[in-house]
Structure 1
């Protein structure tokens, strides 16, 4: 049953008209968000293809499925934990807990996604390296520490650096190992840092932008996100730096000759990034107008990452 703190929002979500409920469920599923889950392994595949190294397609498919399931766990568990703290009471009618009114069933579904995702990752590790499951477990531990009791590090403003670590060097190293032949070598930390740093910063930007429209609700429930701490004006001023540093991490290997010029294809993500910068610079104080800012950040993340992966792969033939 829903917790008392979330009950008003649960009632509103349950009694919405059918068209509105369809919109709420679409928002709850968050299918565009899964680009952040699949990007590390797509980047790893593009990098290996560009280096004329073999890419194990069966491992790629298994890793993709497992990553989607693990992000589904993260999203569902976040709804469950936020229902416990009451932070979703006012501003999130599309929370799965609010839509179903059943915290217990959502928690069960989240744990099922976690178990299945880890089983698939264990299979990937069995067919490549035991380090894969160790790295993925570290990512899951970070995901829990971000949202789960007793740590709830996201409530202390630490979600963004944790996000970068999980989706950057850890997930990228796991993906590189998963796609490599058995016994190719140890954990490729240098390649993972070079390949994952920029795209992970774009992923972190998605999380950062998700706070702008709910500053008052977060502050009222003790969630000290970076946007709550900085204020929307100063936080909006950081968006160009996120974009610039993402591209700097990705273009530096091109400038020193380690990556081909085609890796600059990551710049196809710039149009939504520019739209995001303008939106938050002009309307950061208007929650209703910036509620979709995280989806502009997500478009930047997806296009940037796909462009980089494709550019790395094409460099072998066009370089």
Structure 2
């Protein structure tokens, strides 16, 4: 019984450190970009898609791991028990593990470029990686200036979706750009929600996240507009003829969006209760993007 009591908390901490649900953030831009490509060209290359998804997961793992390393240097994670650095006590090991993930992810991207005899996708993904580094990496640490959500929007929205579309077609598309706006907003939503419960730690470390700048009450109000925007935007793109009407299936994610807004509105000032809101945001992201892509496939 004692062994179980010891192991169970450790298992929970490791799962919180690895953050399995968060990896849908890597998969969905590839799914949406590929779905748009199929809708417009009836092209689907399964090998390219699966290789790209693998690369996206590995590169996101690098970003999450390296963020733990960089945060350990500023002291912002001293109360974060599920930090990989805090769990292992070995910053160097975690740093090189992250670099290994990055190297393997870029090898997957190189494989796609080699198959297609076209280096364009390498350039796009390197730009995504560069943006990801500037989020927490020294000397930039732009996330500490409150610019994380903007970086997240471009890296996981227009750039990632365009790369996925290009990997299938080796061309560009206005429709994929429109779809990437939806994906970018709903991905940034997750990062925005991740700040609500750590305001004190952010202030202590000098991190000026949007929640620190606005205060939790105003940020909770902004969250409603931020979350709601994806639904009229989708309808607008349907009315303009960019999206097929089936993409309105993404509106089925609305219950998750309502749950998120209500939860944050009620608990924004209570860190222990609002700390799970980013996982509700992951649900909004997953279902809205999954159904948006399905709408293009149909």
Equivalent residues, number: 293
Worse overlay, 76-85 or 124-133: 124-133
Q: Distance in 2 between matches of 1:125 and 1:248?
A: 36
Q: Retained in 2: the 8 A contact 1:164–1:204?
A: yes
Q: Distance in 2 between matches of 1:152 and 1:116?
A: 24
Q: CA RMSD in A?
A: 1.2
CA-to-aligned-CA distance 1:38-84 (integer Å, 9 cap, x gap): 11110022212222421111000000000000000000000000011
Q: Distance in 2 between matches of 1:104 and 1:42?
A: 34
Say yes or no: does 1:95 pair with 2:83: yes
For residues 1-319 of structure 1, the aligned pairs below 5 Å read 17-90=6-79, 92-128=80-116, 129-180=118-169, 184-185=170-171, 188=172, 190-314=174-298
- TM-score, normalization by structure 1: 0.89
SS of the counterpart of 1:17?
helix
Q: Please report how far the alpha carbon of residue 163 of structure 1 lies from its aligned counterpart in structure 2 after TM superposition.
A: 0.6
- TM-score, normalization by structure 2: 0.95
CA-to-aligned-CA distance 1:150-205 (integer Å, 9 cap, x gap): 0100000000111101111111111111112xxx53xx262332110011100000
Q: Distance in 2 between matches of 1:151 and 1:189?
A: 32
Q: Distance in 1 between matches of 2:32 and 2:234?
A: 12
Q: Distance in 1 between matches of 2:129 and 2:69?
A: 16
Q: Which runs of 5+ in 1 are unaligned?
A: 1-15, 315-319
Q: Retained in 2: the 8 A contact 1:48–1:313?
A: no
